[in-house]
Amino acid sequence: VTRVLESEDFRREEDSDVSGWTDRFIYPGQTFRHTDHLLTNFHLPKSTLYMLACAFAGPSYLKQAYEEAIQARYRFFSYGDAMLIL
């Protein structure tokens, strides 16, 4: 959903259907225009989803969050614990 919201071509008029695709790749250093919260899992390092979370929260903040999650024995990956980044 984040990729769609942040896509350049995303436009929604009231009461209209939207369809299409995006090739948007989100990576650290990009500015988010339409997203101000992110609910996601703890992802594998070097994955595209980890990069998206780094882009949103900042690499150093996310690294600290992962270190705390490891110490607290959080579960990682698809069926693990989630994090809410505000």
For residue 21, the model assigns a pLDDT of 81
Q: Which residues have a Cβ under 8 Å from the Cβ of 5 and sit 6 or more positions away?
A: 34, 35
Cα distances from 7 to residues 19, 39, 46, 65, 77, in angstroms, run: 13, 18, 22, 27, 26
- Model confidence, pTM: 0.80
Q: What is the pLDDT of residues 32-65, one digit of tens each?
A: 988 999 999 999 888 999 999 999 999 999 999 9
For residue 37, the model assigns a pLDDT of 95
- Residue 59 near residue 36, CB atoms below 8 Å: no
For residue 41, the model assigns a pLDDT of 94
Across the range 5-10, mean pLDDT stands at 73
Provide the strand spans (E) within 1-86.
Answer: 38-41, 82-85
